[in-house]
Amino acid sequence: MITGLQQADKNLFHKPDLFTLFTLIIGYRQHLRVVGSSMERVLKEGDLVTYKKLNPKHIDLEIGDIVVASHPKTKNKLIIKRIHRIYQNKFDLRGDNYFSSTDSREFGLIELDLIIGKVDKIFTKRI
Partner 1 sequence: MLSETLTSIFNKLPAKSVHAHCDGPCGVYDPASARIAAEAVLSMTKKLIALAPAGNDQASISAYNNTFSRFVAIKEEESQKAKKELLILWTDYFKPEHLSTYPDLHDTFWKAAKLCSACKVNIDQTKAEELLAAVQKIHSMFWSSKGRSDNWVTAS
Longest dimension (CA), the chain: 40
8, 35, 59, 63: residue in contact with partner 1 (rule CB under 8 A): 35
83, 101, 104, 118: residue in contact with partner 1 (rule CB under 8 A): 101
What span, in angstroms and rounded, lies between the C-alpha atoms of 65 and 59? 12
Q: How far is the CB of 4 from partner 1 (least distance, A)?
A: 19
Of residues 108-127, those binding partner 1 (CB under 8 A) = 123, 125
Q: How far is the CB of 111 from partner 1 (least distance, A)?
A: 18
Q: Among 2-10, 12-20, 57-65, 84-92, which window interacts with partner 1 (CB under 8 A)?
A: 12-20
Q: How far is the CB of 29 from partner 1 (least distance, A)?
A: 11
Of residues 56-95, those binding partner 1 (CB under 8 A) = 68, 71, 74, 77-81, 95
Q: Residue 45: exposed, middle, or buried by beta-carbon count in 10 A (0-12, 13-18, 19+)?
A: exposed
Instruction: Give 56-62's long-range contacts (Cβ < 8 A, gap of 24+).
Output: 59/112, 60/118, 61/86, 61/91, 61/115, 61/118
